[in-house]
């Protein structure tokens, strides 16, 4: 199921940021929700397995399997694999955690960018929970339905 509309509504609640375009220097390997990784895969027209490693049915770690397979130039391990020429290659569909950088007190921008309005950690946690809820299978009669098979499993 495509959750783009719900994600856009959640993302719209994050305040705008006066950005100096230096944050790419801080972009590292990040966790994202599966629903966000699926959206990025559609945007890139690449299989999700090419840039994300599933850690559960809910979250993934963004990385670039093409690098591990020797198909692309290596990047420093602490860099986001979706950076291309110091810009985010998925900027319009970047995950919530990236959108919160520079917005919440715990992820203050080291380059001095400021949000248009205060946005607390509690507000960020609430948005993260809403995105997670789009991914987590619903509880049915007190139990979760069977886990989905990952694409790399037969």
Tokens of 108: 């203050």
Percentage of residues of the chain with pLDDT beyond 70 = 71
Tell me the per-residue pLDDT of 45-76, one tens digit each, with 9 for 90 and over: 988 877 776 655 555 565 544 444 443 444 45
Q: pLDDT of 3-51, one tens digit each?
A: 999 999 999 999 998 888 777 777 777 778 888 888 988 998 988 877 7
Structural contact between residues 5 and 70, judged by C-beta atoms closer than 8 angstroms: no
What pLDDT, on the 0 to 100 scale, is given for residue 73? 42
Domain ranges within the chain, ordered by starting residue: 9-135
Q: How far apart are CA 31 and CA 109, in angstroms?
A: 18
CA 100 to chain centre: 10
């Amino acid at each position: 199921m495509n959750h783009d509309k719900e994600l856009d509504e959640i993302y719209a609640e994050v305040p705008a940021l006066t950005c100096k375009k230096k944050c790419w220097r801080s972009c590292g390997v990040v966790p994202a929700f599966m629903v966000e990784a699926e959206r990025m895969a559609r945007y890139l027209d690449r299989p999700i397995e090419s840039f994300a490693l599933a850690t559960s049915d809910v979250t993934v770690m963004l990385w670039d399997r093409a690098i591990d397979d020797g198909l692309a130039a290596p990047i420093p391990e602490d860099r986001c694999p979706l950076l291309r020429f110091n810009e985010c290659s998925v900027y319009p569909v970047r995950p919530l955690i990236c959108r919160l950088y520079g917005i919440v007190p715990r992820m203050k921008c080291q380059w001095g960018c400021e949000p248009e309005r205060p946005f607390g950690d509690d507000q960020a946690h609430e948005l993260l929970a809403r995105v997670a809820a789009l991914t987590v299978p619903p509880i049915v009669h007190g139990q979760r339905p069977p886990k989905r098979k990952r694409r790399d499993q037969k």
